[in-house]
Chain A
Amino acid sequence: MKHDDYRELVSLAASGEIDGDERAVLERHMAGCAECRQEFASLGRLHAALTGGGRALEVDDRLLAEARQELRVALRGERARLRPWRVLLASVRTEPAWRLALGGAFALACGVVAGRTLFSPAPGGGTDAAPVPVALRSAEPREEETRITNVHFVDHARGSGDVEFTFDAVTPVRMRGSIDDPKIQKVLTHAMLNEENPGVRLQAVSALTRGATEAQESDVRGALIKALEADPNVGVRKEALNALRRLPFDGEVKKALLHTLVADGNPGLRVAAINALDAARTGAAGVDSDILEVLKQKARSDENNYIRVKARAVIQEATGQ
């Protein structure tokens, strides 16, 4: 074995990466080689420095939570990108000449479709004489502002002169009414779950939680639970959690809080969830086996010290252990 080979062995030995036979060979060599002994000592100092010196960037909970949130958003985009209908639409090619020639036809068709869409009675709504809901009386579609988007030709039908295409007609609608109105709640619930702008989602949650009545409670509660479990914006999830705390504590709410405690990347939200579960416990809801199971898991392994301590405390109070 050449001397350079021993130097490589010295390096690996300092990293703890040689086996017993190699170690014996190296020890015999080092007994008679001052250079390798010095090398080994030098590498020992290097490893000590690496251990003590550390690296500038450490993984902390905040960074991990940010990374998780950004990943959620990216995955949402990824799923949307992979939807089959998008693939189909992408394969349809519009031709500039046709678009020019059919511009007038678009305008006419848009007016007809937008009018039918916006002013036709709701399914099951009965005849023209049926009472109009309060919210709809104050809904004011501004037809002149209708925007036509996503025009896609389905069939050029060159021989017949007919054309077939699809498009989205988007018309701003002004709506005013009581927050207790089911129609208002339906729109806000949709906004809470689907709006791209997190500020709008947050406002929708806030508005909904001011007005949820017994009759609509379960729909609103379901939407709040979805927001708490899946909204990419931590502010929206927090608002949804606060709103759920004001609703009666039942199995659905309990499971949503447990989901947050188990899976949410934001430690602040997990703290809020465990506090909410504790408040419900002291409010006579008690601690069942589901809650106990999660609390035991959190007491053992949550990254956040407060949550571990709190989980242990709740378990102790609830079970006397």
Chain B
Amino acid sequence: MSRDNTHLAYAMMDDVELVTRAQQGDMLAFEQLVFRHDRKVLGIAARYVTSAEDAKDIYQEVFLRVYRNLKKFRFKSEFATWLHRITVNVCLTHRARGRRTFQAHLADARGEDDGEPHGEIRDPAGGPDEAAAGADLAERIEQALGRLSPKQRMVFTLRHYEGYRLGEIAQMMDCMEGTVKRYLFTATRRMREQLKDAL
């Protein structure tokens, strides 16, 4: 195919063909895949973190990982599912790196999973009471989300803001649907507890 016609032809290709071409080193195909899916990726990142710079960092890391690993993609799932799984992993890792500063070595020593909240990470006002005082509902929601564990927050975000079903979230997070249900249940309970005086 000549370069002259690519901008039209590539826009019409489905993901399978674009991935196949990109696996052979076709950068235009890769770029088309980025353009097709990147708003969703940035949306998940932007809802998961609170800073635009963090969201862009996650976005970039996601697509660099896709670029580096695309040749290993074997079409066992939809490309979008694979991409969103990478997005979820990068988000979780992104937060895990931040959390390490505070208490990761203690958790590692105890062999803990992240089933418990880590409220000290994103509490901008230094304490729940101070943070809540004078904050509007959006800020309260933001703070409450920040006190969830990364996986709870990810499940909650994907379900309530991105509209994914639990089965889809389980695929993205590479775990059982029952586990996702448990995360969602715990996250919802904690959110409600923290927002009870605002509801």
Residues of A within 8 A of B (CB): 8, 11-12, 14-15, 17, 42-43, 45-47, 49-50, 52-59, 63-64, 66-68, 70-71, 74-75, 78-79, 251-252, 255, 258-259, 262-263, 265, 290, 293-294, 297, 303
Contacts and interface: CB of A to CB of B under 8 A. Distances in A.
B92 interface: no
A47 B192 CA distance: 10
Given A46-B191, A75-B63, 17 more contacts: A17-B159, A17-B166, A43-B192, A50-B161, A55-B142, A56-B50, A67-B42, A68-B35, A70-B60, A71-B38, A71-B64, A74-B60, A75-B27, A259-B6, A263-B35, A265-B35, A293-B8
B199 interface: yes
Nearest to B163: A16
B160 A15 contact: yes
A59 B39 contact: yes
Nearest to B54: A57
Interface of B: 4-8, 11, 27, 31-32, 34-35, 38-39, 42-43, 46-47, 49-52, 55-56, 59-60, 63-64, 67-68, 137-142, 145, 159-161, 165-166, 181, 184-185, 188-189, 191-192, 195-196, 198-199
26 contacts: A11-B185, A12-B184, A15-B184, A15-B188, A43-B188, A46-B188, A46-B195, A47-B160, A49-B195, A53-B140, A55-B47, A55-B145, A56-B50, A56-B138, A56-B142, A59-B46, A63-B55, A66-B56, A67-B42, A71-B60, A75-B63, A78-B64, A251-B4, A252-B4, A259-B6, A262-B11
Given A49-B141, A251-B4, A64 B39 contact: yes
B43 A59 contact: yes
B188 A67 contact: no
